[in-house]
Chains A and B, each alone.
Chain A
Amino acid sequence: MNKKNIKVNDLIFQTVTKIVVFIIILYSLHLFFSGHYTPGGGFVGGLMTSSALVLLLLAYDVKTVKNILPFNYINIAASGLLIAVLTGLGSLFFKVPFLTHSFKYVDLPLLGETSLATAVLFDLAVYLVVIGVTMTIIQTIGETE
């Protein structure tokens, strides 16, 4: 994306991106949280979030996006894996088999009666790994000369 050589003005694209990225991210979070009862979950949520980031990459260049979101995506993927394994290991402390999940109904201030499940933690891990891996692949290919 060398702006000096190509005289293009992508003002419309960049302006639309600024709004649309938030909508996509909100939708991806919705997909992520709805995974337990309706279609959705960590994998598609993660892909959706990374598609929002890819849209940013298309509208701006790699450097700008790195300045906005200064993440090391490989570490994000690794923390995702870590969360997944630790969720599994957590069950060892309660003397139940590896990866045994549990859930509980809790009254939250705004949301009312909600079931909080440890399976969400595992899904969060999937979400992080998917974002980390997708963005690593795309940025690595994008940066190679």
Chain B
Amino acid sequence: MNNLIILPLVIPLLAGIILIFFHKKIKAQKIISFIASVLFIIIASAVVQNVHLNGIQTLEIGSWRAPYGIIFVADMYSSLLVLTTSIIGLTSLLFAFSTTTAKRGNFYFYPSIQFLLAGVTGAFLTGDIFNLFVFFEVMLMSSYVLIVLGSEKAQLRESIKYILVNIISSALFVITVAYLYAVTGTLNMADLSEKIAATGQTGLLTVIAILFLIVFGLKGAIFPLFFWLPGSYEAPPAAIKALFGALLTKVGVYSITRVYTLLFYHDTGFTHEILAWLSALTIIFGAIGAIAYSNITKIIIYNIITAVGVILFGVAAFTEASVEGSIYYLIHDMIIKAALFFLVGTVIAITGTSHLRKFSGLIKPYPLLGWLFFVAAISLAGIPPLSGFIGKLKIVQGGFEAGQFTIAVIVLLSSLLVLYSVMKIFINGFWGEQRKEQELRKIPINRLLFPTVILIVLSIVYGLGVESISPYVSQAAEGLLNPSIYIEAVLKE
């Protein structure tokens, strides 16, 4: 029993509830949500350290024994993700403080952010498959509010698509869980894993595994289920885009990883092979989208899809190196995507347009912005001293070890296209002469850049300090590769 691991969920939840009472007082909201986010980071780091020192931590909610009650499990993988979530949460809040108008701020904007963080954290920490569904819904409900808040025309149109897709995928989730419950008779993940291992993965269970891939693929935007993402993610304001881009799809990725490493790992020749090829196609289509557009928001959005493919290929190859690589890359990608959305949001706030051909020469009036973008761009592509390198290296290494030569080469080539797509923004937008007809708006640039600086510095430290992070990541990978560690910690036979 360890009540510490429920706190990362309780803090944003409690903060969200308290914020409802103060929804007209913007200053009070800012102070309360800032304090809650700082507290969240502190608690999340404590959880990571605790798991590192004492192994997997579990909490049987309401004192009910493991297969019968809901259980919260903090293994290294989920606690690292919770820590990253808390950092993204704080920086998004800082960005939102200076960009959110009273039109949004008065209407439960900050409570929704806290509820979103609570949903994401809960999804990472729960050890029960139906509870995972509930936290998905908590997260999605808050994201519905955040995507539509402000009632611009594009937001209304895109929120209808977004809600429709997610309701269908949620219904499919419930049906899949019903099938799984009918076959195994349990909902606890550790118990499920044991039951599946005992009977062997029959054809029916493989079908359920593919259904889970479809469900989480719709949430996490893999090929061919990513069609809703480019439009929906363009609608909300920049701070919300960063939250969505860094957290929401990653929860889908987390769930696929969890389900395919803990439950359905017996017929890898079928399930993991499908996952590998789907992730290859995801990478290809993401890269095509990223180089096709000259809308800077769209370019970053398609880069999310590419990254989802890269991370899932690491899981599909299922060797020690590739799983470690996908963990490195997942954390790197959450940080760098948030930073890129902040940067793009800042550029749009300055120029008033997201079209690449309508502005240039930003490096002279805004040198810090330009160089931050440059560092973020080469970090995204995976240039050695920065954070994107180690993850991709290990994924490619693992891919070659697993004999997936074609897809590993696709991952390598995708880096080039990703680099091209973001360098296109840098070269066309920041270099060159300033256009005469374009006027730059006066905005408090330093306050907008502050959260970005935090994330970029973090990303550089992450890249340079791989040595000191690696024990944590290898502990996480070990947990994913050996389900017995997880099962023993939960069921304590």
B202 interface residue (CB < 8 Å to A): no
Q: Are B17 and A98 in contact (CB under 8 A)?
A: no
| Inter-chain contacts of A23 with B (CB < 8 A) | none
Least distance between B105 CB and chain A CB atoms (Å): 16
- Partner-binding segment picked from A53-61, A77-85, A105-113: A77-85
Least distance between A92 CB and chain B CB atoms (Å): 5
CA distance A96 to B60 in the complex (A): 10
14 A-B Cβ contacts within 8 A? A74-B20, A77-B20, A81-B17, A81-B20, A82-B18, A85-B10, A96-B1, A97-B3, A97-B61, A98-B6, A98-B10, A99-B61, A100-B62, A100-B63
A64 interface residue (CB < 8 Å to B): no
| Inter-chain contacts of A97 with B (CB < 8 A) | 1, 3, 6, 59-63
| Inter-chain contacts of A34 with B (CB < 8 A) | none
| Inter-chain contacts of B6 with A (CB < 8 A) | 97-98
B13 interface residue (CB < 8 Å to A): yes
Least distance between A121 CB and chain B CB atoms (Å): 14
| Inter-chain contacts of B3 with A (CB < 8 A) | 92, 97-98
A88 interface residue (CB < 8 Å to B): yes
Which B residues lie at the A interface, using CB under 8 A? Answer: 1, 3, 6, 10, 13-14, 17-18, 20-21, 23, 59-63
CA distance A131 to B62 in the complex (A): 26
| Inter-chain contacts of A74 with B (CB < 8 A) | 20, 23
Known contacts A77-B20, A97-B60, A98-B3; 19 additional CB pairs below 8 A are: A74-B23, A75-B20, A75-B21, A78-B17, A78-B21, A81-B20, A82-B14, A82-B17, A82-B18, A85-B13, A89-B10, A96-B1, A97-B3, A98-B10, A98-B59, A99-B61, A100-B62, A100-B63, A101-B62
| Inter-chain contacts of A88 with B (CB < 8 A) | 10
CA distance A85 to B9 in the complex (A): 11
| Inter-chain contacts of B60 with A (CB < 8 A) | 97
Q: Are B20 and A98 in contact (CB under 8 A)?
A: no
Which A residues lie at the B interface, using CB under 8 A? Answer: 74-75, 77-78, 81-82, 85, 88-89, 92, 96-101
CA distance A74 to B23 in the complex (A): 10
- A81 to B, closest residue via Cβ: B17
| Inter-chain contacts of A75 with B (CB < 8 A) | 20-21
Interface centre among A77, A85, A97, A101 (most CB of B within 10 A): A97
Least distance between A53 CB and chain B CB atoms (Å): 21
CA distance A89 to B11 in the complex (A): 11
| Inter-chain contacts of B23 with A (CB < 8 A) | 74
Least distance between B88 CB and chain A CB atoms (Å): 23
CA distance A7 to B20 in the complex (A): 42
CA distance A74 to B17 in the complex (A): 11
Least distance between A137 CB and chain B CB atoms (Å): 14
CA distance A145 to B28 in the complex (A): 32
Least distance between A98 CB and chain B CB atoms (Å): 4
Q: Are B14 and A85 in contact (CB under 8 A)?
A: yes
Given known contacts A97-B61, A97-B63, A98-B59, is B21 in contact with A85 (CB within 8 Å)?
no
Candidates B14, B18, B21, B62; contact of A98 at CB < 8 Å = B62
CA distance A101 to B62 in the complex (A): 7
Q: Are A96 and B63 in contact (CB under 8 A)?
A: yes
Given known contacts A92-B3, A97-B3, A98-B3, is B61 in contact with A85 (CB within 8 Å)?
no
Least distance between B238 CB and chain A CB atoms (Å): 28
| Inter-chain contacts of B63 with A (CB < 8 A) | 96-97, 100
Candidates B10, B20, B59, B62; contact of A78 at CB < 8 Å = B20
Q: Are B13 and A98 in contact (CB under 8 A)?
A: no
Q: Are A85 and B17 in contact (CB under 8 A)?
A: yes
CA distance A77 to B63 in the complex (A): 27
| Inter-chain contacts of B21 with A (CB < 8 A) | 75, 78
Least distance between A58 CB and chain B CB atoms (Å): 28
CA distance A92 to B23 in the complex (A): 29
Least distance between A103 CB and chain B CB atoms (Å): 13
- B20 to A, closest residue via Cβ: A78
Interface centre among B6, B17, B18, B21 (most CB of A within 10 A): B17
